[in-house]
Amino acid sequence: MAETAEKLFGTDGVRGRANSWPMTADAVLKLGAAAGRYFRRDGQNRHRVVIGKDTRLSGYMLENALTAGLTSTGMNVLLLGPVPTPAVGFLTRSMRADLGVMISASHNPHHDNGIKFFGPDGFKLSDAAQHEIEALFHGEIAPARPDNIGRAKRIDDGLGRYVEYVKTTFPGQGRLSGLKVVVDCANGAAYRAAPEALWELGAEVIPVGVAPDGFNINRDCGSTHPETAAEAVVRHGADVGISLDGDADRVMIIDENGHVADGDQIMALLARRWKEAGLLRGGALVATVMSNLGLERYLEAEGIGLVRTPVGDRHVVEAMREGGYNLGGEQSGHIVMTDYATTGDGLVAALQFLAAMVDTGARASELVRVFDRVPQVLENVRYGAGGDPLAAAGVRAAIKAGEARLGGQGRLLIRKSGTEPLIRVMGECEDEALLRAVIGEIVAAVQAVA
């Protein structure tokens, strides 16, 4: 089939619309077989894989397809059910699995889904490993002999193991007693884990987005719609709000007045606190090119370095591991703390923020605005299958003209999304009116060819 020649892996695993290639049952079955063949090298039935998922309706279909593919090559499958993405990274290593798989499209709407792979160390697979699996996928995959077919079983205590571990990351002997906390779970993977962990640590918990029905994940809730948690914080008189995304690897923090702090503000706070405590390894924070210029200026003033990477938490983690750094993340709310987790963990990051409140006695509003943001505008333009809008002469000309108008006052970053058919047009400039004019011209040029 012609479609099998298409690139399978994107910036964060495999992703697409449910029941459309590559998120079809037959394609995912073969993907599971390819991954199983890649990891099952010795022909023995000692290999195991843990599979988690979020709350999308298509998760049932894809879970069964993956299980069939993996067991057909001799892998033994442990099914975790709905758990956060970071739980899969943690449990892959904790349960001595050879492979971890998370079925989720993160912050995307319910009709999308995706598959993320974790190696035995709990970190997402390298590009090299993904390329080998993709090569196997496009070829003929040898099945296991009948007596070597793998087994599959449900694991009932995976979620509890993760919750207990998350609680151990709360610094010192502190407790959350006396804090009223809104937690918005986006009707997603953390709908049980997050409220449970917070309550067991002593907080009064007001849960939001904890009634998944297969269709409402991320719908008007979660980190992509933090206004839902903000409204709940104000209405209930809560001390703080935590807004997670569909697979709980992202977080936004809301103060008692309903103001939202993104990943840049959270990372700035943690970087300063960790430096003061002598915990910031490498003396630097790792962030992507999307992080605000205000963050860069703040860190410089605090004597903290900033390592910039391409967009995507995989790039952040790779830079952290290569440079020996232990704190990094993205403006979108991925906060990676390799002392605690192998990938972004929204709940663990939230606990670090709550620890700052407990330690200092400060209100959330005193902690969420660490630095002044340089005006930043981001517009997303959806495009069809007709080609690459960024290759069009009119778009290239608009970008060049925009860069000339901004001069040394700001910067532009125009790129394709790695997870959706979107062109992301971002710019920063102290002169916000000029910035909006430049962004508007580039967006119009992209729309003309999209």
> Residue with structure tokens 């990274």?
89
pLDDT of residue 46: 74
The SS3 assignment for 254 reads: strand
pTM: 0.91
Mean pLDDT on 248-253:
98
* Residue 15 and residue 133 share a domain: yes
Domain check: are 226 and 362 in the same one? Answer: no
277-312 tens-digit pLDDT: 999 999 999 999 999 999 999 999 999 999 999 988
Measure the CA–CA gap between 95 and 163, rounded to whole angstroms.
15
Which pLDDT belongs to residue 440?
A: 97
Q: What is the pLDDT of residue 409?
A: 84
The pLDDT assigned to 4 comes to: 44
Last residue of a domain, one of 366, 398, 419: 366
Domain identity same for 13 and 121: yes
For residue 162, tell me if it sits in a domain.
no
- 101: pLDDT confidence band, cut at 50, 70 and 90? very high
pLDDT value at 421 more than 60: yes
Q: Which of 106, 223, 243, 332 is catalytic?
A: 106
The confidence band for 42, taking pLDDT boundaries of 50, 70 and 90, is low
Tell me the sheet residues that pair with 251: 244
The domain boundary, picked from 338, 366, 394, lies at 366
Query: Same structural domain for residues 143 and 200?
Result: no
One domain for residues 238 and 207: yes
Q: Is residue 170 part of a domain?
A: no
The whole domain housing 434 covers: 376-449
pLDDT score, position 328:
98
Average pLDDT on 245-249 reads 98
Which region among 251-265, 324-338, 414-428 has the lowest average model confidence (pLDDT)? 414-428
Q: What is the torsional sign of CA 16, 19, 21, 23? A: positive
What would the mean pLDDT of 49-73 be, rounded to a whole number? 98
- The enclosing domain of 82 has a CATH number of 3.40.120.10
Return the closest-CA partner of residue 109 out of 424, 386, 377, 419. 419
The CATH number linked to 414 is: 3.30.310.50
Do residues 319 and 342 share a domain? Answer: yes
Among candidate residues 332, 366, 400, the one where a domain is terminated: 366
Peptide bond just before 22 cis, omega within 30 deg:
yes
Total number of domains constituting the chain: 4
Handedness of CA 246, 250, 255, 258 (dihedral sign): negative
Which residue has 């012609």 as its token pair? 2
Q: What is the per-residue pLDDT for 23?
A: 97
Whether 106 is a known active-site residue: answer yes
Rounded CA-CA distance 417/341 in Å is 25
C-alpha 135 chain-centroid distance: 26
Q: How many CA within 13 A on the CB side of residue 327?
A: 26
Q: What value does the mean pLDDT of the chain take?
A: 94
Does one domain contain both 249 and 280? no
